[in-house]
Amino acid sequence: MKKIINNADEFVSESVEGLVLSYPGTYKFSNDTNKVLTRTNKALSKVGLVSGGGSGHLPLFTGYIGEGLLDSCAIGNVFASPSVEEISSAIKEANSGKGVLCIYGNYGGDVMNFDMASEMLEMEDIKVESIVVADDVASASIEEKEKRRGVTGMLYVFKIAGAMAETGADFDEVKRVAHKTNENIRTMGIALTPTILPQAGKPTFEIGDDEMEIGMGIHGEPGIRRGKLKSADEITQELSEKIFDDINLSSGDEISVLINSLGATPHEELFITANKFDKILKEKGIINKKSYVGRYATSMEMAGMSITVLKLDNELEKLLLDQANCPFWF
């Protein structure tokens, strides 16, 4: 294992402390724990937005705190859910009296702990509800969409719900657009190499130098197919077909696309993917209103990438393009 770390047991705490020190105008620690971050300049009266999840995915979760995005985030250990106490602290930090909406991925530990924290705080008269993101096409069929994992599409829910919350909209309106976004996102990914957890010191799975795995999850969950590595155009075509088979899009429809590196895959390779994806869209007559290309949701040093499509209407497009401010959103 080659990593630029000190002590594996301090990996999360030292990295989060460095994040706060690097961007003090955006992030600060909760008064209760160093496993919760919140906005440095809190909004005084708005629906609060909270997320949380395991470390190892930056900038996913913690990175997207800021104006027009999240208000606070609970931080778990690497690939591990934050605790009920940490989630409760994050919800309290985000609460300004107008309710708190929690947005997180569909993973068993996260769902259980967010549910428990929400129930506890409702007894303190804090209104708390959740949007459980489930955009990973590979992880379950459309008939069992509620079983799908939440991956990179979560960013779109953060952004659009965050934009609506900044307008001063009430709780039901913020939850409505978050749900609408969640229903209109699809993600498909590919892994080329494993990741190495600092405390384990060994790869999370094995894959041949000439192999790829279609549909692998961001924690190394099994995908839907493993085979010989193909060209960028062939990979993009396969991922795109899986997405378009799952979402109702017709010629003239508008989308946003997010092409994401899982960690080690460089921008140059992502832009090759973007080039092919644009050609596919033009063949279908689908209009891309906004592209995002880069590292948005990672899995440590895993090589691979994902494509996320958000089907837009006028409301979602406006909210997507509204101003947001954090170091990781461009």
Q: Which helix (H) or strand (E) element contains residue 189?
A: strand 185-191
Point out the catalytic residue in the list 148, 159, 175, 219: 219
Is-same-fold flag (10-183; 185-321)? no
H-assigned helices in the chain: 11-22, 84-94, 108-122, 154-166, 171-183, 232-244, 267-284, 314-321
Q: CA–CA separation, 245 vs 240, rounded Å? A: 8
**pLDDT bucket at 317, cuts 50 / 70 / 90:** very high
Between 39-43, 136-140, 152-156, 279-283, the lowest mean confidence (pLDDT) is in 39-43
Q: Is 57 a catalytic residue?
A: yes
Digit-coded pLDDT (tens) for 168-218: 999 999 999 999 999 999 999 999 999 999 999 999 899 999 999 999 988
The pLDDT score that the predictor gives to residue 43 is 83
Q: Please, are residues 298 and 266 in contact by the beta-carbon 8 Å criterion?
A: no
- Specify the pLDDT at position 44: 84
Question: Is the per-residue pLDDT at 288 higher than 80?
Answer: yes
Q: Is the pLDDT of residue 330 over 80?
A: no
Average pLDDT over the chain reads 96
- The model's confidence at residue 243, banded by pLDDT at 50, 70 and 90, is very high
Above pLDDT 90, what percent of the chain?
94
Reduce the DSSP state of residue 310 to 3 states and report it: strand
Tell me the domain boundaries of the chain: 10-183, 185-321
Query: For 123-150, what is the HEC assignment?
Result: CCCCCEEEEEECCEHHHCCHHHHHHCCC
Peptide bond just before 59 cis, omega within 30 deg: yes
- Per DSSP, what are the bridge partners of residue 228? 211
Tell me the per-residue pLDDT of 44-95, one tens digit each, with 9 for 90 and over.
Answer: 899 999 999 999 999 999 999 999 999 999 999 999 999 999 999 999 999 9
Of 57, 92, 98, 311, the catalytic one is 57
DSSP-derived letter for residue 325 is: B
pLDDT above 80 (res 258): yes
Residue 28 has pLDDT above 80, yes or no: yes
How far from 162 is each of 39, 41, 76, 282, 320, CA to CA, in Å?
A: 13, 15, 22, 31, 9
Interatomic CA distance for residues 55 and 35, integer angstroms: 10
Strand-pairing partners, residue 36, are 74
Active site residue 219: yes
Contact between residue 179 and residue 217 where contact means Cβ atoms under 8 Å apart: no
Query: What was the pLDDT predicted at 290?
Result: 98
CATH 3.40.50.300 fits 185-321, yes or no: no
Q: In degrees rounded to 5, what are phi and psi of residue 202?
A: -145, 160
269 pLDDT tier (thresholds 50, 70, 90): very high
SS3 state of residue 185: strand
User: Could you tell me the pLDDT band of residue 118, with boundaries at 50, 70 and 90?
Assistant: very high
Whole-angstrom distance, CA of residue 226 vs CA of residue 229 = 9
How large is the average pLDDT for residues 219-237? 95
Q: What is the 3-state secondary structure (H, E, C) of 50-86?
A: EEEEEECCCCCCHHHECECCECEEEEEEECCCCCHHH
Classify the C-alpha dihedral 56-59-64-66 as positive or negative. Answer: positive
1, pLDDT greater than 90: no
CATH number belonging to domain 10-183? 3.40.50.10440
Q: CA end-to-end span of the chain, whole Å? A: 32
